[in-house]
Chains A and B, each alone.
Chain A
Amino acid sequence: MKQKLVIIGAGMASGRLIETLVETAPDAYDITLFNAEPRGNYNRLMLSPVLSGEKTYDEIVTHDEAFYDAHGVTCRFGEWVTGIDRAAKVVTGTHGPVAYDKLVIGTGSLPFIIPLPGHDLDGVIAYRDLEDTQRMMAMGAGRRVVVIGGGLLGLEAAAGMAARGADVTVVHIMGHLMERQLDEAAGYLLKTSLEDKGITVRLQSNSKEILGENGHVKALMLDDGTELPCDLLVMAVGIRPNVALGKEAGLAVGRGIHVDNQMVTSDPDILSVGECVEHQGAVFGLVAPLYEQAKVAAQTLLGQEAAFVQKSLSTKLKVTGCDLFSAGDFADAPGREDIVFRDPSRGVYKRLVIEKDRLIGAVMYGDTADGAWFFGLIKDGTPIDDMRETLIFGPAFQGGAQADPLSAVAALPPEAEICGCNGICKGTITEAIAGGAHDLAAVRSTTKASASCGTCTGLVEQVLQVSLGDAFQMPTAQPICGCCDLSHEDVRRLIKAKALKSQPAVWQELGWKTPNGCHVCRPAVNFYLLADWPLEYRDDPQSRFVNERKHANIQKDGTFSVVPRMWGGITTPDELRAIADAADKYAVPTVKVTGGQRIDLLGVKGEDLPHIWADLNRAGLVSGHAYSKGLRTVKTCVGTDHCRFGTQDSTGLGIKLEQALWGSWTPHKVKLAVSGCPRNCAEATCKDVGIVCVDSGYQVGVGGAAGMDVKETERLIDVATEAEAIAVTVAFVQLYRENAKYLDRPYKWLGKVGLDWVRERILDPAERQRLVDAFELSQSIYRKDPWAEHAARPRAYAPLADLTLEAAE
């Protein structure tokens, strides 16, 4: 005879339980299913894709009416269970009682609502069921939403509503997002991706009060007084097991309903599964253990041997474009070691945590393809000693003796496709390499491989490495120096993302291992800060190399050279007389004409600097910044003023450019030139920015070099007017300031980001204007003569004391 089974709650666990029961022993039980929600089992995990519009509700229903009909499940949906009489073995619902032989409680969890003032206002919801989802789906363009909670659920809610066009702010109390699943670095990458989707993220923010109007939510007030206006407030701060029914029935209850390994509660006829359960002190929120519990419970009900064992869990965030994965335990602890892989240009971060010779945790962002494999290693406790060196590259690089991460690429046949976007196979790339394309940029330009989405960049580099061997330097995300673990790119991104506005903030927040950096990282960080926060942060002379601190070039004997600015290479007899007088007065041993069309006074003593500057200032001469990572010179030819071939006023344009750009700090030195015709007497085509005037206007080229590397400029854009030529130049310099790695000349930076990327931004009128404005804002601080300032305090350049004089007394 069939036994009577009553199940309370149609959640994901009970759905799986019913499925297992009816599949293995369809005749064992008569099943009655209660559900407070007026519907049956659906895949709650998939509410986020429903919210974002990627799926419909119908698509996420796991068991429909036909299923319940076919298996004789009596459905009592939309009905609350009011009590369990364990002695009589009867469950009472709002529509009447039903007797049971076996009972399964799957009442799930309740969202945790923070008891803030105003939490009961209309428009304050949790994210738990279809009703909540539908409220959120009504939020479209022009609607403002605040989500409290930067965990899995909160972020999925935020991303879903942002995808519908709502203006979403996430308020999170911790220092980084998803702190239970992610480490800090992955948390930052996630935050950046969400911000790219237009979501505002406020970390370390404490909610204080929910403000309302006419009974409806109006804004969330933080404890610093900030008000965040909203039409809907979603609390996604966590869940707690819904134990009310079990507790009332007198079952053993802690945080959840206590169950043993067979999922049986303190009453042998009552089982419990899902988020309402507490097993060996743990409660559950992810789906994998819930399914496992359901299977064990079904087997227990059928009298089979089964035991639930807790396992490591893995998490994936279901937000399009945020590819993250975490599994196991990745907290720092003694005896644990990390293997970290970063590729900032692709936004890839992978971290493996190893204890003894086992993988115990993994966090991945940007490229999670190997997640399942790592998760398997964690679950199985596989010894990883043999593959440790290549572990982070994933399963493709493992196997037997070939532990070389390149072996997989080396083994690819020539027809294997490397670049999916452009359909480029390995053979095409190796041919290009054989034909002389010996770096990534060259391969890109000859084959187009990795020139579109860029995700195959790593593979292309590996093909280069395999083909060229040691002749190809594999680019790796090197830390800036021994003081930190972050690359230049990471530090730049984090300074922006975390709004770090001082050096101590950088040392602290980015985990510097030294008190205040070193001669390698400090100048870089100083530049990044002043470039990103021109008003809030001021240049720190103590973080500048001596030349930039003393505004003169140190020479091998400790003396300095002094180079006054000659705008566009134009000077006057008065200026020349002042220079000659200064050279005489300070006994300058060498006077030299430079390659940048000005005059260098070499061999000036350090303590004389303020005085010679004061003298030169009086004649109207200012610093030529011949020492700085900043604008050096704008070389010109005489253009239409005198030359019979000149097409435009190249000298005038050069002077205007120099006046716009002088004083600005840049990642490395910047040299310009303007030639009045294609004969190019100003040698503009080997400068960082070189303008060649033609009859129709101005050809702006960028990325030239004439130092250790010699390189011709590439044409950025042709413009018709002088004003446009200036705007384009300023915008280019600002883009370089905002993005380049410290000590990368523009041509090096262009090699990394690509000219197309730069051109796209310069051609966009709004972006060009933004860049020009940002540069002007910065120049409101830095467009001034440092010599004049330093000449006013000559004591700083003199010895602090002279004990030799006293000794002579």
Chain B
Amino acid sequence: MSWIDIAAIDDIPERGARVVKTPVGCIALFRTAVAEVFAASNTCPHKGGPLADGIVHGQKVTCPLHNWVFDLNTGQAVGEDARIATYPVRIEAGRVLLDGMAVGKRSAA
């Protein structure tokens, strides 16, 4: 793994999300609690809704277009046969780090 420093955790509102553009497409960083962040695809497999614009609740997000709900631990859509990609993410000293290998960057910054 090669961890890339993305931003300070406080750049993401609690129970909110922000988008990171990557070679594998837009990834949303969901901040579900004070020190808990998940990374997953920003694109809803249903109609392409921007998941970072959804309401974040518990460890889930609801798509703003048609209310599909995704479990951020697994990417599984609740009650639907669909899934979004999830990515390794960690928090270190108040910074959010994404795994560069997983998001299509060959070398760490």
Residues of A within 8 A of B (CB): 514-519, 522-523, 541-546, 549-550, 554, 556-558, 606, 799-807
Q: Out of A514, A515, A546, A557, which one reaches B64, CB within 8 Å?
A: A546
Q: Out of B49, B54, B105, which one reaches A806, CB within 8 Å?
A: B105
Contact at A542–B15, with CB atoms within 8 Å? yes
Q: What are some 21 contacts across the A-B interface (CB < 8 A)?
A: A516-B58, A517-B57, A519-B62, A522-B57, A542-B15, A542-B55, A543-B15, A546-B64, A606-B53, A799-B18, A800-B7, A800-B11, A800-B18, A800-B19, A800-B29, A801-B7, A802-B20, A803-B21, A803-B23, A803-B98, A804-B23
Q: Which of B44-63 contact A (CB under 8 A)?
A: 47-50, 53-58, 60, 62
A373 to chain B, nearest CB (A): 41
- CB contacts (< 8 Å) of A554 on chain B: these are 50, 53, 64-65
The complex places the Cα of A802 from the Cα of B6 at a distance, in Å, of 9
B67 within 8 A of A: yes
B4 within 8 A of A: yes
Contact at A806–B109, with CB atoms within 8 Å? yes
Contact at A543–B20, with CB atoms within 8 Å? no
- CB contacts (< 8 Å) of B20 on chain A: these are 799-803
The complex places the Cα of A89 from the Cα of B19 at a distance, in Å, of 93
Contact at A518–B105, with CB atoms within 8 Å? no
B90 to chain A, nearest CB (A): 15
Given A516-B15, A800-B6, A800-B11, do A546 and B109 touch, yes or no (CB 8 Å)? no
Please give me the residue from chain B that is nearest to A544 by CB atom: B55
Contact at B11–A545, with CB atoms within 8 Å? no
- CB contacts (< 8 Å) of B58 on chain A: these are 514-516, 518
What 19 new A-B contacts, CB under 8 Å, besides A556-B65, A801-B20? A514-B57, A518-B57, A518-B69, A519-B62, A522-B57, A523-B55, A557-B48, A558-B48, A558-B53, A606-B53, A799-B19, A799-B21, A800-B7, A800-B12, A800-B20, A801-B6, A804-B22, A804-B23, A807-B105
- CB contacts (< 8 Å) of A515 on chain B: these are 57-58
B16 within 8 A of A: yes
Q: Out of B4, B12, B55, B98, which one reaches A519, CB within 8 Å?
A: B55
B63 to chain A, nearest CB (A): 9
Best-buried of A556, A558, A806 by chain B (most CB within 10 Å): A558
The complex places the Cα of A544 from the Cα of B13 at a distance, in Å, of 13
Given A542-B55, A554-B65, do A803 and B105 touch, yes or no (CB 8 Å)? yes
Contact at B15–A519, with CB atoms within 8 Å? no
B50 to chain A, nearest CB (A): 5
A114 to chain B, nearest CB (A): 42
5 tightest CB-CB pairs across the interface, nearest first? A519-B62, A800-B18, A546-B53, A519-B55, A546-B64
- CB contacts (< 8 Å) of B22 on chain A: these are 803-804
B38 to chain A, nearest CB (A): 14
The complex places the Cα of A263 from the Cα of B14 at a distance, in Å, of 66
B84 within 8 A of A: no
Given A800-B29, A806-B109, do A522 and B55 touch, yes or no (CB 8 Å)? yes
- CB contacts (< 8 Å) of A558 on chain B: these are 48-50, 53
B103 within 8 A of A: yes
Best-buried of B6, B55, B62, B67 by chain A (most CB within 10 Å): B55
Contact at B21–A801, with CB atoms within 8 Å? yes
Contact at B7–A542, with CB atoms within 8 Å? no
A486 to chain B, nearest CB (A): 17
Contact at B62–A518, with CB atoms within 8 Å? yes
- CB contacts (< 8 Å) of A606 on chain B: these are 50, 53
- CB contacts (< 8 Å) of B49 on chain A: these are 558
The complex places the Cα of A541 from the Cα of B16 at a distance, in Å, of 9
A633 to chain B, nearest CB (A): 23
- CB contacts (< 8 Å) of B14 on chain A: these are 542
- CB contacts (< 8 Å) of B12 on chain A: these are 800
Best-buried of B50, B53, B56 by chain A (most CB within 10 Å): B53
B45 to chain A, nearest CB (A): 14
Best-buried of A543, A557, A804 by chain B (most CB within 10 Å): A804
The complex places the Cα of A549 from the Cα of B52 at a distance, in Å, of 12
Contact at A550–B105, with CB atoms within 8 Å? no
Please give me the residue from chain A that is nearest to B19 by CB atom: A799
B27 to chain A, nearest CB (A): 9
A687 to chain B, nearest CB (A): 28
Please give me the residue from chain B that is nearest to A483 by CB atom: B57
- CB contacts (< 8 Å) of B47 on chain A: these are 556
Interface string of B1-36 (1 = CB under 8 A from A): 000101100011111101111110010010000000
Contact at B13–A519, with CB atoms within 8 Å? no
Best-buried of B18, B57, B58, B65 by chain A (most CB within 10 Å): B57
Best-buried of B11, B15, B20, B47 by chain A (most CB within 10 Å): B15
- CB contacts (< 8 Å) of B105 on chain A: these are 803, 806-807
The complex places the Cα of A557 from the Cα of B54 at a distance, in Å, of 14
Interface string of B75-109 (1 = CB under 8 A from A): 00000000000000000000000101001110001
B103 to chain A, nearest CB (A): 6
The complex places the Cα of A174 from the Cα of B74 at a distance, in Å, of 43
A266 to chain B, nearest CB (A): 61
The complex places the Cα of A461 from the Cα of B18 at a distance, in Å, of 48
- CB contacts (< 8 Å) of A803 on chain B: these are 4, 20-23, 98, 100, 103, 105
The complex places the Cα of A545 from the Cα of B109 at a distance, in Å, of 35
Contact at A519–B57, with CB atoms within 8 Å? yes
- CB contacts (< 8 Å) of A516 on chain B: these are 15, 57-58
The complex places the Cα of A142 from the Cα of B1 at a distance, in Å, of 76
Please give me the residue from chain A that is nearest to B66 by CB atom: A556
- CB contacts (< 8 Å) of A549 on chain B: these are 53
The complex places the Cα of A515 from the Cα of B26 at a distance, in Å, of 28
- CB contacts (< 8 Å) of B98 on chain A: these are 803
The complex places the Cα of A803 from the Cα of B100 at a distance, in Å, of 9
B104 to chain A, nearest CB (A): 8
Please give me the residue from chain A that is nearest to B8 by CB atom: A800
Please give me the residue from chain A that is nearest to B64 by CB atom: A546
Given A519-B55, A519-B57, do A541 and B23 touch, yes or no (CB 8 Å)? no
A524 to chain B, nearest CB (A): 12
The complex places the Cα of A516 from the Cα of B59 at a distance, in Å, of 10
The complex places the Cα of A802 from the Cα of B23 at a distance, in Å, of 9
- CB contacts (< 8 Å) of A541 on chain B: these are 13, 16
Please give me the residue from chain B that is nearest to A540 by CB atom: B15
- CB contacts (< 8 Å) of B15 on chain A: these are 516, 542-543
Best-buried of A799, A801, A804 by chain B (most CB within 10 Å): A801
A407 to chain B, nearest CB (A): 36
The complex places the Cα of A522 from the Cα of B50 at a distance, in Å, of 20
Please give me the residue from chain A that is nearest to B43 by CB atom: A558
The complex places the Cα of A329 from the Cα of B100 at a distance, in Å, of 60
Contact at A519–B11, with CB atoms within 8 Å? no
